[in-house]
Homo-oligomer: A and B are copies of this chain.
Amino acid sequence: MSEYATSTDVLVVGGGMAGLAGALALRENGANVTLVERAPEFGEVGAGLQMAPNASRVLKRWGLLEKALEIGVQPKHLVFRDAITGEELTRQSLRGEFEERYGAPYVVIHRSDLHRVLLEGCEAAGVKLVNDVMVESVETVNGRGIVRTAAGVDYEADVVIGADGLKSTLRPLVATDEPVSSAYVAYRGTVPITSETPATDLEDVVVYLGPDCHLVQYPLRKGELLNTVAVFKSPSFERGEEQYGGVDELQAAYKDCVPAVQAALANLGTSIRWPMYDRDPIENWVAGRMVLMGDAAHPMLQYLAQGACQALEDAAVLQDVSAGTVFTADGVNPAAWDEALTAFNSARAARTARVQRTARVWGESWHVSGLARTLRNLLFKSRNDNNFQYNDWLYGSAGEGLPTPDAPKVASAASA
C-alpha cells in the first residue's frame, strides 16, 4: 500500500479544457485518472470559442462531437473585413469542401458549453475529479510523480500532467520564463440575437481588422446568442499601469471604425477586461514524470483561435503515444512512460511553437495601418475562397503530429 493518500496511474493538474481533454484521452486508454482542480467548482469563464477541424476531429474520436454540435453553431463562412471601411477582404467557406478536406466541421461554441461537454465526458468515462486542490510541488521519485498539495493530501502517479494554464505552477520545473504581454486587451460579451440585431454576417465568423484593434463576431447556442470580442492596444496596459484598458480606451480605440463595429461595442460585458499574454516557445515540457500540456506548455495569442484546439491536439497525441506502450493488453506498463513522454514532447513542441509564432505575426498583420494595411488588404483580396494555402498546415490531419494514410495531402505552405 502506498504511503500517499491517493495512488493512481495518471494525475492531471488543472481542470480547464486542456486538463479535461488530457484526462479523458488517457482514460480512453484505460488508465486510472485523477484530475485535481484548484477552484471549488469546475467551470469556464469567457464567451465563445472557435473549434477548428483539427480540434473537432479530436472530439469526434471521443464520441463527443455530436454533443458539441447540439449546442454549438457551424458557421457558414469566416469573413475578414476592414474595420475602417467595412469592406470585405476575404472569406473562407467553412462547410462543404472545407469540412470534407479536413474531415470534421468548424464549430463555434460557448466556452462553458465545450467545457461541460468535456467534463461530462470525463465523468461518464470514470475520471476521478477533485476540486479545491492547490498543488504546491511535483517531484519524481523512483519513477513515480509525487504531488504535494497545500492541504497536505499528497498524490502519487506514474505520470503527472501539468495542465494548469498560462500561469502554470508546474512550468518552473522545465523553464524559468514569464508570460509575455502583448499590450492588447480584450472585452467579450454575448447578447441574445433578436429581430433588432443587424442581419449582416449573422451566420458567419466575421473579423473586422483595424489599426491597433479588431473585433470578432459570431453566433452561439444554435444562433440564439451573438458573441462579440473586441481586442485593442491599450496605452495604459503598455505603460504597465495597474488600472489599464478601461472603457474609455475601448471607445477611443474604435472611434474610426464603421458604425457596425462601433455599435457592436454595446454588446460587450465591461466588468472584465482580459489582458492578452502568451509565452515564447520552449522545447522541453518534460521533467521526470511530469509533462506540461495546453497553455501551461504553449500559451498563445488568440489570433488563430487555437488555444483550446492545440490543447485537444495535445490530448490526442498523448493518447496515441501511450496506447499500446504504457497501456497494453496485459495492463499498465509504467516504464514505457519515459519514451512516450519524449515522443509526445517531440511530436508537439515544434508544431505548437509554429502556432505560437504564427499567431503573433498573424495578429500583427490584423492591426497594421498605412501602407502595410494597403498591402494586407490587397493580399487578402487576392485570395480566393477555398484556397487552402494558409489552412492546411493548421487544420490538416498532419496537425496531430501523426501521419494519417488517408488524410488529404497537406501542403507545406508558409505560415502567414
CB distance from A370 to the nearest CB of B (A): 8
Is B368's CB under 8 angstroms from A368's CB?
A: no
**Contact residues of A between 366 and 382, Cβ < 8 Å to B:** 368, 371-372, 374-376, 378-379, 382
Asked if A175 is at the interface of the complex by the 8 Å CB criterion, the answer is: no
Cα of A374 to Cα of B416 in the assembled complex, Å:
8
Residues of B within 8 A of A382 (CB): 379, 382-383
Cα of A368 to Cα of B370 in the assembled complex, Å:
12
The residue that A364 contacts in the complex, of B368, B371, B378, with Cβ under 8 A, is B371
* Nearest neighbor of A376 in chain B, beta-carbon distance: B375
CB distance from A393 to the nearest CB of B (A): 15
Cα of A368 to Cα of B378 in the assembled complex, Å:
15
Asked if A361 is at the interface of the complex by the 8 Å CB criterion, the answer is: yes
**Contact residues of A between 349 and 372, Cβ < 8 Å to B:** 361, 364-365, 368, 371-372
Cα of A372 to Cα of B376 in the assembled complex, Å:
8
Cα of A382 to Cα of B414 in the assembled complex, Å:
13
CB distance from A27 to the nearest CB of B (A): 43
CB distance from A368 to the nearest CB of B (A): 7
Tallying the copies of this chain within the complex gives: 2
Residues of B within 8 A of A383 (CB): 382
The CB with the most chain B CB atoms within 10 A, among A371, A378, A414, A416, is that of A378
Cα of A376 to Cα of B414 in the assembled complex, Å:
14
Cα of A378 to Cα of B377 in the assembled complex, Å:
12
* Nearest neighbor of A370 in chain B, beta-carbon distance: B372
The residue that A371 contacts in the complex, of B372, B374, B378, with Cβ under 8 A, is B372
Residues of B within 8 A of A414 (CB): 378
CB distance from A188 to the nearest CB of B (A): 26
Cα of A416 to Cα of B377 in the assembled complex, Å:
11
* Nearest neighbor of A367 in chain B, beta-carbon distance: B371
Is B361's CB under 8 angstroms from A371's CB?
A: yes
Is B379's CB under 8 angstroms from A361's CB?
A: no
Cα of A375 to Cα of B416 in the assembled complex, Å:
8
* Nearest neighbor of A416 in chain B, beta-carbon distance: B378
The residue that A368 contacts in the complex, of B361, B371, B379, with Cβ under 8 A, is B371
Cα of A408 to Cα of B372 in the assembled complex, Å:
32
Residues of B within 8 A of A368 (CB): 371-372, 375
Q: Please list 22 pairs of residues, one from A and one from B, whose beta carbons are closer than 8 Å in the complex, sorted by A's number.
A: A361-B371, A361-B374, A364-B371, A365-B371, A365-B374, A365-B375, A368-B371, A368-B372, A368-B375, A371-B372, A372-B372, A372-B375, A375-B375, A375-B376, A375-B379, A378-B379, A378-B414, A378-B416, A379-B379, A379-B382, A382-B382, A382-B383
Minimum-distance CB pairs A-B, first 8: A372-B372, A379-B379, A375-B375, A382-B382, A375-B376, A364-B371, A378-B379, A375-B379
Q: Give A residues with C-beta under 8 Å from B.
A: 361, 364-365, 368, 371-372, 374-376, 378-379, 382-383, 414, 416
